[in-house]
Structure 1
């Protein structure tokens, strides 16, 4: 029974550590990215020179 109290205490302590780390990250601006979402649609998924493009070169 004592072991359950120790495990509950450890889990609450670990949860508080993660909560403090989350608030620190929010206050320090770790989650502030206003540029990337607006231009993400402009980025291509594949890089030029991939295998699909190289295999099409033989048909021309």
Structure 2
């Protein structure tokens, strides 16, 4: 199962990733652009304690 949250900007994506990693959750993809999804797709991923992939994503305007 995957779960994604929409962020208001790239800074929210970055903050999500930092806070979750510091809380002990496993990094599953550092913040950055994911052009394989579409231009302007900026996201970060962590794994929660049950192994679910949690994503914060910001869709930049084109």
TM-score (norm 1): 0.30
Q: Which protein is richer in helix relative to its size?
A: 1
Q: Which protein is richer in strand relative to its size?
A: 2
For the pair shown, the structure with the greater C-alpha radius of gyration is: 1
